[in-house]
Chain A
Amino acid sequence: MIEIASIIAAAFAVSFGAIGPALGQGRSVAAALDAIARQPEAANVISRTLFVGLAMIETTAIYCLVVSLLLLFANPFRG
């Protein structure tokens, strides 16, 4: 029972946890492309900042992944 619940919870954690970061990354990439199109000479600075920002946003999705892995492989409730 706990195994089934853990697997379902892990799937939900990853699937719903990916929505927010995906939307956020889409917005930031769109804004960065807009900025590069307006100011191509600033592309280096913008893309460097973009990468760091994307890494920050992506961390939330990675947290969900780690939570689901803990549920699947290191479940504290499975005894």
Chain B
Amino acid sequence: MMDSPLSTHLAFTLGPVPISTTVLTTWGIMAALAAAAWAVTRRLTMRPGTAQACLELVVETIQGQIHDTMHTASTLFLPLIGTLFLFILAANWSSMVPGIEPPTAKIETDAALALIVFLSVVGFGIQARGLGGYLRSFAYPNLFLVPMNLLEQFTRTFALVVRLFGNVMSGVFIIAILLSLVGLLVPVPLMALELLTGAVQAYIFAVLAMVFISGAIEEKPSDAAQQQEDTAS
């Protein structure tokens, strides 16, 4: 019988707090990302070397995606979206390291990431429109849709969790099943597919976070449409 994908393995206990292997892997990825970022940004020059050029490429690509999706030139969202994307990408691809199970294949990690998105949607919404304005946005287009809009907040967060969990976990699971059935080299194409899936899922998580946040901060569609009509006429 295989291990349930919903269970976690205990690595050690830190006093009264049990630490699972998932948390340990997450810490490792966080430390690796932070160390890489620290090491690359120590000597920033106007004439970038190889490492700095690569870093600038990554940052500019993410900023370009934010600009395209949210239609804002603001760099306010770059730290959040960039960190989410890079962390999920690193976590998904960590399954390529032998013996490491990606933290995103456990539902708790995905729930924590989606909770960050949920809270930042509320936070950015209140920051952009004020508490009253944000609450009024739930009553758009009319008051009867308040329960639907409230429900949507939770279902889409839940969908974020389940999407990332299901994709990453099913990839890991299939590779494990194939390994136990046919042996060494057969799962290699599937692992290549897993690289692609991991990148796409990280991208989609970041894009959906952008879409949710821009939906919370933008003007009502009627106002925007009205303005467009005004400028057109």
Contacts and interface: CB of A to CB of B under 8 A. Distances in A.
A51 B165 CA distance: 18
A59 interface: yes
Contacts of B4: 73-74
A45 B6 CA distance: 37
A3 to B, nearest CB: 11
A66 B168 CA distance: 12
B159 interface: yes
B86 interface: no
Nearest to B166: A62
B204 interface: yes
B163 interface: yes
A44 to B, nearest CB: 8
A66 to B, nearest CB: 6
Contact of B159 (A51, A59, A70): A59
Contact of B211 (A52, A66, A69, A70): A52
Given A48-B69, A51-B207, A59 B163 contact: yes
B90 to A, nearest CB: 20
Nearest to B170: A65
Contacts of B211: 52
Contact of A62 (B68, B69, B162, B200): B162
Interface string A43-78: 011001001100100110011011001100110000
B195 interface: no
Contact of A73 (B6, B68, B166): B6
Nearest to A65: B166
Contacts of A52: 204, 207-208, 211
A33 B6 CA distance: 38
Contacts of B6: 69-70, 73-74
A62 B211 CA distance: 21
Interface string B198-223: 00110110011001000000000000
Contact of B163 (A44, A55, A69, A73): A55
9 contacts: A52-B208, A52-B211, A55-B204, A66-B165, A69-B6, A70-B6, A73-B4, A74-B4, A74-B6
Given A48-B65, A48-B68, A55-B200, 16 more contacts: A44-B68, A45-B68, A48-B207, A51-B207, A52-B204, A52-B207, A52-B208, A52-B211, A55-B163, A55-B208, A59-B159, A62-B167, A62-B170, A63-B162, A69-B5, A73-B6
